Amino acid sequence: EDESFISSPAPEDKLLGGLLAPGFDEESCLSRYQSALYRKASPHLPSRYLQARLRKYEAQHKKCGPGTDPYKKAIEQFKSNHSTGPMECNYIVWTPYNGLGNRMLTIASAFLYALLNNRILLIHVPKDLDDLFCEPFPETSWVLPSDFPIIDQLSSFHIRTPQSYANMLRNKVINKNSNGSLPAYVYLHLNHDYSELDKLFFCEDDQLFLKKFPWLVLKSDNYFIPALFLVPEYEEELRRLFPSRETVFHHLGRYLFHPTNTVWGMITRYYEAYLGKAEEKMGIQIRIFQFAPISSENLLDQILNCSRIENLLPEISLKGSSSSTTKAVRSKSVLVASLYSGYSEKIRDKYFEHAAAAGEIISVFQPSHEETQHTEKQTHNQKAWAEVYLLSFSDVLITSSWSTFGYMAQGLGGLKPYILALPENRNAPNPPCRRAMSMEPCFHSPPTYDCKAGKQVDKGALGPHVRHCEDVSRGLKLF
Ligand code: GDP
């Protein structure tokens, strides 16, 4: 690669440095080419090789997508329930599981897997996911057709489903060393509860074996890309695709996920009304998990302490009145995303009752407070998606530990967030937050099995590609 050809994109480079394909109908998905107007240009450019591979993938998807002859042939094969090896076109079917953040991280993982294996990615879009994402590939569709043979069973797939890779190995339905006939598809169960046999997915021999199946069906709630970097077969290709490892989700996310016009309307209306005029934009993403409870007072203190120590929000002046100059002061908007409303109100009150130290003008907004998670509701998911996208416009970001919702905002925005430490015994630990080492999401439940050595190992210590995550000590992330 000749790096000297790669210069910074123009501020309004709507193709994001060659990441996006030109030629889409702009009206049908305004966000695709308009997002560049709302964000600073990313300093991270996609490699030439990634650009070329994406264009090649798009051509392949068009050739193999729903409705094409190769697709029909592959469906016939699926229905016959046996296969003899790879076909002209081979597929990976993504199925939804868990919240929006989890879903998007696994779509990105499935897409990279498809790219590495020359498979076509099709996603199952139930009603709750409808009208969130535009089609990412030109002149074709990534939506799994509604007449897909087992479409009604997909949501009930789980760890004991007989067609899972682990269960078929265990029950000798398939055998890595035989050349006999195979079932038409394998169910890949890569959820956090997966078994050691399911985790063989991350071994090179198993990867080679899985290539024989025209159809893979995936369910996962994990960003499993870091473990693909540990499969020797993919190492070189991944290095060429992503010379800078910490930009994997940044590029894949911006390539794949474009809000539909409905969601883009929410985003742009909110942006114009509340955020657009501020000189600096800060995002605070607040997520509380049942396994790590904390009182709202303690959490508010944690957020304010983090902001103070890291110089993210100004101190308040205790003198009471603001400085007499009303012009030429800096303005900062603070976008709070949370299921609960109290936090943004308290931060706003603080800067209403007291002047900020340097006369800065602080405005605090929160688009919604849904109170509880409702992944089964389309409008709830649209709001969540709009908030993730708005957060990704931030200049600085505070996120919550363990939250895939936060990972998406940081990845799309290209931001290294300040991560609020997970509460311990209902209290905020000290320090209250720390800066992420990379903008990559964390793989929460990675495999620990060393396929070559045949024993358990600490993959976080394995070397140059991955480290344990700041927020999830057993997790793995690229950096
Ligand atoms: P995670 O559980 O934090 O890893 O993130 P997920 O996105 O997978 O699941 C959490 C879900 O709860 C989101 O998808 C939303 O449906 C909802 N949710 C959590 N936090 C927020 C928030 O700040 N704003 C909105 N609108 N929804 C949220």
Across the chain, which has 479 residues, the per-10-residue mean pLDDT values are 42 86 95 94 95 98 98 97 93 98 98 98 98 98 98 97 97 88 95 96 96 97 96 96 97 98 98 94 97 96 97 84 60 96 95 90 95 96 98 98 98 98 96 97 94 83 83 95
Position in ligand 1 atom list of the atom nearest CA 98: 8
Residue whose entry in the numeric block shows the structure tokens 């591979």: 53
Q: Which pLDDT score, from 0 to 100, does residue 3 have?
A: 40
Q: 389 CA distance to ligand 1 centroid (A)?
A: 13
Helix H or strand E encompassing 286:
strand 280-286
Q: Which pLDDT score, from 0 to 100, does residue 323 have?
A: 53
DSSP class per residue in 114-150? HHHHTEEEEE---GGGTTSB---STTS--BPPTT-TT
Note whether 138 and 62 are within 8 A (CB). Answer: yes
Rounded CA-CA distance 60/230 in Å is 26
Count of helices and strands (H, E) across the chain:
14, 16
Q: Which pLDDT score, from 0 to 100, does residue 93 have?
A: 98
The amino acid at residue 295 is S
Can you list the domains of the chain with their CATH numbers?
3-254 (no CATH), 261-441 (3.40.50.11350)
Q: 370 CA distance to ligand 1 centroid (A)?
A: 9
Note whether 406 and 440 are within 8 A (CB). Answer: no
Q: Which pLDDT score, from 0 to 100, does residue 7 have?
A: 42
Q: Which residues line ligand 1 (CB under 6 A)?
A: 98-102, 287, 337-339, 368, 370, 373, 375, 380-381, 383-384, 387, 403-405
- The reported pTM is 0.95
Q: Which of the listed residues 222, 223, 303, 373 should we mutate to test ligand 1's pocket, taking the one with most ligand atoms within 8 A of CB?
A: 373
Sheet hosting strand 280-286, strand order edge to edge: 361-365, 331-338, 280-286, 396-400, 418-420, 433-435
Q: Nearest to residue 320, comparing CAs of 347, 354, 350, 352? A: 354
